[in-house]
Structure 1
Amino acid sequence: MLENQKPITQNQSPNQTNWFASWFDTPYYHILYKDRDYTEAQLFMDNITQYLNLPEEAKILDLACGKGRHAIYLNSLGYEVTGADLSENSIKEASQFANEKLHFKVHDMRETCDEKYDAIFNLFTSFGYFENDADNLTTLKAIHNSLTETGFACIDFMNVDYVLENLVPEETKTVDGIDFHLKRYLKDGHIFKEIAFEADGQNFHFTEKVQALRLEDFEQMMEEAGIYLLDIFGDYKLRKFYKNQSERLIMIFK
């Protein structure tokens, strides 16, 4: 499934806002995705921090952090963590968990950060939703430029071939009494998910879309950005990546 994409409502003018900045700011987004596996997320954070052998005092950026579940857990491991997201609502909610070593801020991932980090994590397919393809390269460069000299970055993306092979074209998912009618399809190099539902006396329709980026697409962009791709994994246990079998495309670079 698509995960952390941020689409525009059907009746909203495309010029009014970036299309990925509306659905994610609604409470219904969090209702639909409330059953995400936190245990799996924590296992991934345990594995990736051990693999990277991060020092205890490492500064970590959780880029496109949403409501901060990864950032909060990373902070519980002792790291100094900043969670950054374009969604003001998500940052407002995450900020209630802030402390001396856990900070949250509104930030556009296309922009280089003011400070440098020992590790930058872009997790749960929080990439590839820009209207302009060039923004993907801009984002990679911004991540690269926000790392310390010895820092590492990690992008956790869906494995497009696996997703397409297992795509469920239509289904209805009921959460908290709301029937979410979902349609999924591939079109113009993007994977779409249409979400229609009725709630609070209103009918809603949102469309998520994310570019169907494969490993070779990332490799080409990284080469152009002067980025060194160190390792590739296929799941949160950091097992080998297989093009047609792996659920995830996890890339470590510097």
Structure 2
Amino acid sequence: MSNTPKAKNCNNWYASWFDTPYYHILYKDRDYTEAQLFMDNITNYLNLPDNAKILDLACGKGRHSIYLNQLGFDVTGADLSENSIAEAKQFENDTLHFCVHDMRQPFSGLQFDAVLNLFTSFGYFDDDQDNLKTLAAIRDSLGEYGFGVIDFLNAQQVIDSLVPQETKTVDGIDFHIKRFHIDGNIYKEIDFEDQGCAYHFTEKVRAFTLEDFEGMMETAGIHLLEVFGDYKLHKYSPKSSERLIMIFK
């Protein structure tokens, strides 16, 4: 549609879609109980010290950062979305802070006991060098005894179970969703109308496999320590696991 309004005049889909209220409307019913269970499990597994410093990289509106802070950790939430960070900042306290930050850049002068990149917040960049920069930035943001965690989709399982087309109605808005896999990317096209305007957004994430991550981590000088396949930290299976959760340093 030539007259389709966009949230921003921006070449990067993630810088516009994630900054709209519609992104948060569409995903408002995500299972945060499951997310909290994962954060309980992963912080226990890492055996982080009391008051450990955690970076929640690509934190969105900060819901998970807030929960991690409630567990007793000193948390910094970082996200590219100015609107999301502006909303998250209302929850700041002495041990919870939020900032606008590009994940390709390390945190100057700050070192963390853990850097968590949760719920498929990796693989948005078209240029492989940008994905490598992100891994290097995580590496450089870790303290000497720090751990990195990337929680990614299990690409093969997602591709095998893609629902090609569906409509989700949330808050009176009909979101028409199409999904497909092409050229090593998993796409989700989202069309909807609201208040007389038609909108179109496309989500795209690289269909990285464990082998892809192993190659990138080797290039970035990162040591992969453990791989899990779900939020209960069960063993990873390429064909059946729901997630690809990697622990590294």
Alignment of 1:1-254 (within 5 A): 16-114=10-108, 115-254=110-249
What is the total number of aligned residue pairs between the two structures? 245
Query: Which amino acid in 1 is paired with 2:33?
Result: T
- After superposition, the CA RMSD in angstroms is 1.5
Aligned residue identity for 2:189: E
CA displacement 1:151-187 (0-9 Å, x = unmatched): 0010000000110111000000000110000000011
The answer on whether the counterparts of 1:72 and 1:102 sit within 8 Å (CA) in structure 2 is yes
Distance 1:33 1:112, change over 3 A: same
Q: Deviations over 1:56-98 (max 9, x none)?
A: 1200000000011110000001100000000000000111111
Against the structure 1 CA distance between its residues 153 and 163, is the aligned structure 2 distance closer, same or farther, given a 3 Å change threshold?
same
SS of residue matched to 1:171: strand
Choose 227-236 or 124-133, whichever is displaced more: 124-133
Q: Which runs of 5+ in 1 are unaligned?
A: 1-8
Query: Residue deviations 1:88-136, cap 9 Å, x none?
Result: 0000011111101000000000001120100000000000001212101
Alpha-carbon distance between aligned partners in 2 of 1:156 and 1:238, rounded to the nearest angstrom: 11
Measure how far apart 1:20 and its partner are. Answer: 1.6
Look up the SS of the partner of 2:159 in the other structure.
helix
**Runs of at least 5 residues in structure 2 that lack an aligned partner in the other structure:** none
Deviation at 1:50, TM superposition (A): 0.4
Q: Could you tell which deviates more after superposition, 17-26 or 105-114?
A: 17-26
Distance 1:51 1:36 in 2: 24
Counterpart CA distance in 1 for 2:139 and 2:4 is 35
Deviation of 1:11 after TM superposition, in Å, equals 6.6
CA distance in 2, matches of 1:190, 1:208: 10
Displacement of 1:23: 0.6
User: What is the identity percentage for the equivalent residue pairs of Structure 1 and Structure 2?
Assistant: 69
Contact 1:10 / 1:207 at 8 angstroms: preserved in 2? Answer: no
Scaled by the length of structure 1, the TM-score of the pair is 0.94
